[in-house]
Structure 1
Amino acid sequence: MAPRQPITANGDGTFTLHLQEEERALMATIVADLRAMLVENPDEEMLARLFPVARPDDPDAEAEYRELVGGELLSLRKARLETVAELAEATTLNPEQLAAWLGAVNDIRLVLGTRLQVSEDDDFSELDEDDLESVARSAYWYLGWLLEHLVEASASEL
């Protein structure tokens, strides 16, 4: 039996999402949480990987960079999350919607990975569903799996 594909390219520029209800519920919850964090506290330390320092050696240049692109980056990330929230129950995506999903899943994974302090040495084989940290680590693993399939589907249409 072939492994389940959460998204497939339809060959006409559209993509079909094959997400289970639990996956859709997880995405809706995580998207809402990150959207709230971006709105209420965009300087939250857990968001640092979404807004990396461009000029660590020059505070003035870094401040200028933040002034120029900070608002645009924040708006882009919020728009991606809004698209995913609106399409949480969708079964078909167009290329722009797929790009929003891809970006939002990546952003969520970056934030969750920061919160969990994930490293390359982490082992995801021992997860305890009664432990909140293990549940979050399982969500992180799932998002990586979903991201991989979103990238593959996107690349198949190039």
Structure 2
Amino acid sequence: MAFGRVVRRRGGIEVRLRGEEREVLRAVLGQLRTAIEADAEDPALRRLFPPAYENDAEKEAGYRALAQHELLESRLQALAAVEASLDSKRLDDDGAAAWLRSLNALRLVLGTRLDVTEEDDHEIDPTDPDAPAWYLYYFLSGLVDDLVGALSD
């Protein structure tokens, strides 16, 4: 699914996105930030913060009390790094890792909202009310794939 929009070049990782693609990312990153800051109990966001102790409510509550703030801050810092570098044409490895983490978080939340399964590699019906979300999901998936490839090179 690679688009070739993120590639390793001498001197860093090159991001080849059009202006409108960057604006879409800016908008959805802002929406994710707002959602994380507002309600970590949103079912779609639970995908980003899975339980550590699924079968032990007491241990899970203890873990959340200790780790939840740090988990949230880590996500928000990665989002801030991406937002700050969104207009950049080149990233270092740390910047690319923040992009990977944040874009994959967007993909996971959107996939949860769309109820994506492993079998969901289908043609998008342009008349489907969810078509724009599906296009975004596949766009994010391609960027994540490109980032993984660039970081692996």
Q: What does 1:3-152 align with in structure 2 at a 5 Å threshold?
A: 4-12=3-11, 14-128=12-126, 131-152=128-149
**How far did residue 4 of structure 1 move?**
5.0
Q: Secondary structure at the match of 1:152?
A: helix
For residue 146 of structure 2, what is the amino acid of its counterpart?
H
Q: Percent identity at matched positions?
A: 33
- Normalised by the length of structure 2, the TM-score is 0.93
Higher relative contact order (CA 8 A, sep 6+): 2
Superposed CA deviations along residues 52-81 of structure 1, whole A, max 9, x for unmatched, are 011111111111111121111111111111
The size of the alignment, in residue pairs, is 152
Gaps of 5+ in 1: none
**How far did residue 45 of structure 1 move?**
1.6
More displaced stretch, 119-128 vs 40-49: 119-128
**How far did residue 83 of structure 1 move?**
1.1
- Normalised by the length of structure 1, the TM-score is 0.90
Gaps of 5+ in 2: none
**How far did residue 11 of structure 1 move?**
3.0
Kept in 1, the 8 Å contact 2:16–2:89? The answer is yes
